Structure 1
Amino acid sequence: MGSTGAPQNTAAPNAPFFTPIQSPPAGSALSENPPTLFSPLKIRDVTFQNRIWVAPMCMYSADNGHLTDFHLVHLGAYAYRGASLTIIEATSVLPNGRISPEDSGLWTDSQIAPLKRVADFLHSQNQLLGIQLAHAGRKASTCAPWSTERGRAITATEDVGGWPRDVMGASAIRWGEGFANPREMSQQDIEDVIHGFRDSAKRAVEAGVDVIEIHGAHGYLISSFLSPISNRRTDSYGGSFENRIRLLVEVIKVVRSVIPAGMPLLVRVSSTEWMEESSEPDSWKVEDTIKLAKLLPALGVDLLDVSSGGNNENQRITPFNDFQVGIAGQIRSALFKSGITNLLIGAVGMITEAEVAKAIVENGKTVNETKEGEDGKVEGTEGAGKVVEIEDEQGAKAKADIVLVARQFLREPEWVLRVAFRLGVKVQWPQQYNRGQFLKGSKV
């Protein structure tokens, strides 16, 4: 009688080093009929095992734009513990687009290799990597926040690697005290930024990134063009709503044109500037975001990441658990009422508790409807999936399709696993960590 032999510790396929196969990936529901938070979601050709993503978080730890071993450990810690997408911090498309001299960048080919190292590790764990492409605009060339008094910006001067004479914005309007005085961008400056987004997107694809997000929030360059407070231009990039969104539209078009048809494309915006109590006659409001959102599916955008604020030091905002999530729900509802069902919504901000995360996306379902062209590739935005609006017995609707979480992951890198336990959902753990699973009846 033959022996079956010892069980094999199977290697992950295509990994550049030995690591056990993680199949299904950590964070996948093993329970039947899990809540929406732990149900898969497919966007174009990419399937996410749950609805919890790690939001981009600036770490001010790059080496002239190059990611380091710190980023490998920092990002990897969240990914192999079950987050279905881990998004790299705001990554500048040009040297003068960094927030600080230590920000991540992707403006030159030498920055591809360290990014690929991170991508290779996440893929070896059967997890997905995103990157947020950005330009800081008039908020560029500042010092890392921990090197200054809390809440106080300080310009990074040339002696610490800054570029205060090369800071630019939609208009020559300084963000506030401690920031450099920006120059108003020329047509050539605008073209350089658009080309920077295009070339950085190409590099991200080469490095193996799975998802790209365009940063249009928090007062950085694209955000400053959207707002009439910071955009006083009189050319085709200023004045009317159509002119103020022109830079974002052109960036979206050029990025979509150079990334694979099956790659999801996200856009983050500040949905409101929180300037209603200020003396400014006009600002970017939720109504403007809804108007913009209705245009995004036709441009090839798959998900709108709904944040807020950051464009003016006079903003009046009191953060609470629903302060941005409610806006995400308002935008999602407005899209449905307009018959737009192919733009997903991401909610971010103060999401720290399991039941809250569950409620945000519960009853949010998608039906993937693909349309193939003659070359067999997905055309248009049909590949993003059609969103179906469902109410529960109390009439509650999903406020978003994805939750993006940042600071809670800094506190609890294993937050996905804790959330699953608190909700009573059995999920896959990393193979090496199976012995550490939470015990029934324990408090976590």
Structure 2
Amino acid sequence: MAELFSPFTLRDITFKNRIAVSPMSQYRARDGHANGWHVVHLGRFAMGGAGLVYAEATAVEPNGRRTHGDLGLWQDAQIDDLIPITEFIRQEGSIPGIQLGHAGRKASERRPWHGETPVDDEDVSQRNEAPWKAIAPSPIPYADGWPAPAEMSEVDIEQVIASFGEAAKRSQEAGFKIIEVYAAHGFLVHQFLSPIANQRMDRWGGSNENRRRFAVEVAKSIRANWPEAYPLAFRLSATDWLEDGIEVEDAVETAKALKAAGVDMIDCSTGGIGGKERPRRMIIEQGFQVPFAERIREDTDVATMAVGFLWDAKVCEDLLHTGKADMIALAREFLDDPNWPLHAAKELGSNENYAMWPIESGWWLMKRERLLNKLGIR
């Protein structure tokens, strides 16, 4: 069997294969509540054979939403809408996961198709969506033209840490089996980690150890409210790709500290700390972030997930076979092809006669294939 389709276990949770669906924000929630769109969007990936299906970035506080359309788990009333999603994913043999996050200084943003700029009076008049004040480690705007966030007080920091723990409780009640903390791409946890966004000189900044304190405390807060049997992951930006920003050596030390706090896997991404332009050091090609997953895995002995511009099944199989990561994650490739795992299995010789497909569709496809072969049509 291909390595891509071998099982993988973290704590007491076993994924049937090593393919994960990355969190992909849909901006279709209302007041943080999931709806039918999320059921279908996520359910189709479970039907398509992914071993792990992550729900999108889910805010732990109302002011931690990136947009008005973000999912949330800041109140108990939001739990019930998520239960049909997790139940369906489990019924199809996949593991339901959730990404918990807080947007920090990236909060109060328009949806991408509305411009990905700060919410303003136009949004109030056109969509009845008002802006709110963002918070961050330091009062530094995310990008040119963005308002300065409010610098978080000690009370603010402790409250957000506690909110991650409360959201973890709700995640369990909603039926999720793994949590990933969004500590990448310029969101709040990443803002604390990066010296570009965090210029504090108290116990939450000023040194590498102090800057990672927030991430570690978030991990501890979740671990205290999350079953011991269930895994906890962090998505890190392993480098900011910028001078005076995070480098992979910093990410390695952060991963070590997170592992000591009960984190089981690092999802290795990069970039996103600020601005709209891609940093010059960031050269995008297939699998360009895989070396970071390999480095963190080697130097910390913690499981890693490789993500970013992965679409070729043979490339994914090779990076797993050579020990560069323990799992792979795809996002937009799944939007284009929700059945990517099933097609990858066929390419790698692991899906003879559509055996891995749900019987309701695999049976029909096998029958068609036999007829086409008999007729010599293809």
TM-score, shorter chain, exceeding 0.5: yes
SS in structure 1 of the partner of residue 165 of structure 2: helix
| Greater Rg by CA | 1
Letter of the aligned partner of 1:301 in structure 2? V
Instruction: Give the corresponding residue for 2:341.
Output: 416
Contact 1:98 1:105 in 2 (8 A): yes
* 1:305 pairs with 2:267: yes
Instruction: Give the corresponding residue for 1:375.
Output: none
Q: Percent identity?
A: 42
Letter of the aligned partner of 1:181 in structure 2? A
Cα distance change of structure 1 residues 230 and 326 upon mapping to structure 2, 3 Å threshold: same
* Structure 1 residue 312 displacement after superposition: 2.1
SS in structure 1 of the partner of residue 81 of structure 2: helix
Contact 1:85 1:128 in 2 (8 A): yes
Cα distance change of structure 1 residues 319 and 261 upon mapping to structure 2, 3 Å threshold: same
The ranges of structure 1 where at least 4 consecutive aligned residues each deviate by more than 6 angstroms after the TM superposition are: none
Instruction: Give the corresponding residue for 2:308.
Output: 349
Q: Distance in 1 between matches of 2:132 and 2:35?
A: 28
Contact 2:63 2:132 in 1 (8 A): no
Cα distance change of structure 1 residues 347 and 161 upon mapping to structure 2, 3 Å threshold: farther
Instruction: Give the corresponding residue for 1:359.
Output: 318
Letter of the aligned partner of 1:312 in structure 2? G
Q: Distance in 2 between matches of 1:165 and 1:66?
A: 19
SS in structure 2 of the partner of residue 200 of structure 1: helix
Cα distance change of structure 1 residues 252 and 289 upon mapping to structure 2, 3 Å threshold: same
Q: Deviations over 1:29-65 (max 9, x none)?
A: xxxxx12111111111111111000000111110110
* 1:241 pairs with 2:204: no
Q: Distance in 2 between matches of 1:84 and 1:242?
A: 35
* Structure 1 residue 147 displacement after superposition: 1.7
1:139-288 alignment runs, 5 A limit: 139-148=106-115, 153-157=116-120, 159=124, 160=127, 164-276=131-243, 282-288=244-250
Q: Distance in 2 between matches of 1:402 and 1:162?
A: 39
1:287-436 alignment runs, 5 A limit: 287-313=249-275, 315-316=279-280, 317-335=282-300, 341=301, 343-362=302-321, 397-426=322-351, 428-434=356-362, 435-436=364-365
Letter of the aligned partner of 2:119 in structure 1? A
Instruction: Give the corresponding residue for 1:383.
Output: none
Which structure 1 residue ranges, 5 or more long, are not aligned?
A: 1-33, 277-281, 336-340, 363-396
Contact 1:142 1:179 in 2 (8 A): no
Q: Distance in 1 between matches of 2:145 and 2:175?
A: 37
* Structure 1 residue 271 displacement after superposition: 0.3
Q: Distance in 2 between matches of 1:252 and 1:297?
A: 9
Letter of the aligned partner of 1:128 in structure 2? I
* Structure 1 residue 439 displacement after superposition: 4.5
Which structure 2 residue ranges, 5 or more long, are not aligned?
A: none
Q: Distance in 2 between matches of 1:180 and 1:133?
A: 24
Contact 2:239 2:270 in 1 (8 A): yes
Q: Distance in 1 between matches of 2:293 and 2:149?
A: 32
Letter of the aligned partner of 1:273 in structure 2? D
Q: Distance in 1 between matches of 2:68 and 2:23?
A: 18
Q: Deviations over 1:80-107 (max 9, x none)?
A: 2210110001000000101100001000
